[in-house]
Structure 1
Amino acid sequence: MKRRVLFVCSANSARSLMAEALLKDMAGDRFEVASAGTEPTHPNPMALQVLEESGIAVAGLHSKRLADLQEESWDYVITLCEKAANECGAVCQPAQQIAWDFPDPALSNRHATFALTLKELKERIGLFTLVHQKETGLKPLEYNPVTVFRAFGDELRLTMLMLIRDQKKLCVYELTKALDVSQPKVSRHLATLKDAGLLETERQGQWVYYYLHPQLPQWVLRVLDETSGGHTKLIEREKERLKAMPDRPVIRFL
């Protein structure tokens, strides 16, 4: 059975909406998620923008009144400001109360502030899901060495992995230019690497970026590190092609 989580802040325009979208994206198979405000307004356009830039769905996100949701049964109520924490303690029993305190990014109205709030929320929600995983006995991703080394065993896939490791994040367009191969071929090999649990994706605007999966175990990371250290020329040519791209997409690291 999915556990039910309600995020609450004052306006339900930025912090709690972003948290709702993040948890749905990160662990929607394990949680039913909603958000509400003690004095709701409407979704902040910049909050929606940074979510979309990270490849997180915003369809259906809207501001809601706490009064309309407080009578429902919740397993966790997570407040994101002191005002919400003071009001929820009395009305959302017997849910487990968790108080987080994030500054309202709307006060600055700057893209960088919203992006930083999204990053910090993602880190905190990642810890929340990890703790819940341990409490409920859910297993983290398992990495079969046969599957991993089979993915490593293709020269093109290994080069792609090492290049992504070096550059942190790359989109398909960048990889086609760096590797000098067709888009369908790049996409096919990326799908194999993602299926093996080696890569994760996020969308920024029209581009989908690939990066090393954050749950990679230490033994896999050590293989990549040793390969990089022992074969420094492996991706030398590909890095030069990336540098030479006149129309390389600009990425925002969140």
Structure 2
Amino acid sequence: MSQKTRVLFLCVANAARSQMAEALLRHTDPEHYEAYSAGTQPGEVDSRARLALEQLGVSTEGLHSKPLEVFDGQQFDYVITLCDKSAFECSTLPGAGEYIAWDFEDPASSRQVNAYRHCLQQIHERIKMFVLVKNKAKAPLQMLAPVTLFKCLADDTRARMTQLIVQEGELCVCELTAALEESQPKISRHLAQLRSSGLLQDRRAGQWVYYRLHPQLPAWVAETLNQVLKADDPQLAEDRLRLHGMRDRPGRSSLCN
């Protein structure tokens, strides 16, 4: 059996949001994940958070507030913060394979009716998406169908991004934003589509996330994309010119194997 992915959820008091996330991840996929939570200023688990979990049919057994120091020296595949304050305080937390910042309104200070149930639903949706994306990324790459590749390249933005990545080896969001003169949200959205299709793979290096062709792609895909580059597309030349003229391009280490 493969080793489970370890996830640590953080918020200030470790009273509601991080407790909900811990319980929900354990409930959603206990086979592949170990979930933990802690707080930078821990208090007590909010009884209203427990009630919301129990009403959803999620076990609250073992939930208790803990200081972050309890996990000193431990390694986690993902450290996920659930509020802006904990995100700032834990941005350089050691032992995190990948650091992710989520932000949900504190139900304790919310004026919304059924605030705890609403917060739980929001976190639940994010947890399900997290599990879906991460499990898909870990799954063996299936044969990329030609129709999938052509759908990816049918959009002008995705086609330009893919050509640049093929030619440059790997690029991050800010580089693609500068090269294509598009907004960061639009670039990120298209990158997510290319990654979910299996065409791209990402890697994190410090604060940067770089994208490259998936190393397990069928040979015909790489051959097709390299043949496209031989067309000497003038649009690609313009994109590359903007890319190479970009100021403060992020540095990078060598490509991961």
TM-score (normalizing by structure 1): 0.52
Residues 2 and 111 (structure 1 numbering): CA distance in 2 closer, same or farther, change over 3 Å? farther
Does the 8 A contact of 2:14 with 2:37 survive in 1?
yes
Tell me what 2:222 maps to: none
Looking at structure 1, the residues matched to 117 and 138 of structure 2 have their Cα atoms a distance apart, in angstroms, of 31
Tell me what 2:110 maps to: 108
Looking at structure 1, the residues matched to 128 and 47 of structure 2 have their Cα atoms a distance apart, in angstroms, of 24
Does the 8 A contact of 1:8 with 1:37 survive in 2?
yes
Structure 2: which 5+ residue stretches go unaligned? 142-257
Tell me what 2:12 maps to: 10
Among the aligned pairs, what percent are the same residue?
44
Tell me what 1:89 maps to: 91
AA paired with 1:65?
P
AA paired with 1:7?
F
Tell me the CA shift for residue 92 of structure 1: 2.9
Tell me what 1:25 maps to: 27
Q: Which has the higher contact order (CA 8 A, sep 6+)?
A: 1
Residue 107 of structure 1 aligns to a residue in which SS?
A: coil
Tell me what 1:75 maps to: 77
Residue 34 in structure 1 maps to residue 29 in structure 2:
no
AA paired with 2:84?
E
Looking at structure 2, the residues matched to 115 and 70 of structure 1 have their Cα atoms a distance apart, in angstroms, of 32
Tell me what 1:51 maps to: 53
Tell me what 1:126 maps to: 128
The count of corresponding residues between Structure 1 and Structure 2 is: 139
Looking at structure 1, the residues matched to 71 and 9 of structure 2 have their Cα atoms a distance apart, in angstroms, of 11
Superposition map of 1:1-254 within 5 A: 1-108=3-110, 112-137=114-139
Does the 8 A contact of 1:46 with 1:111 survive in 2?
no
Does the 8 A contact of 1:40 with 1:65 survive in 2?
yes
Structure 1: which 5+ residue stretches go unaligned? 140-254
TM-score (normalizing by structure 2): 0.52
Residues 133 and 63 (structure 1 numbering): CA distance in 2 closer, same or farther, change over 3 Å? same
Looking at structure 1, the residues matched to 135 and 93 of structure 2 have their Cα atoms a distance apart, in angstroms, of 27
Name whichever of 28-37 and 92-101 sits farther off: 92-101
Hey, which bits of structure 1, 4+ residues long, moved more than 3 A? 108-111
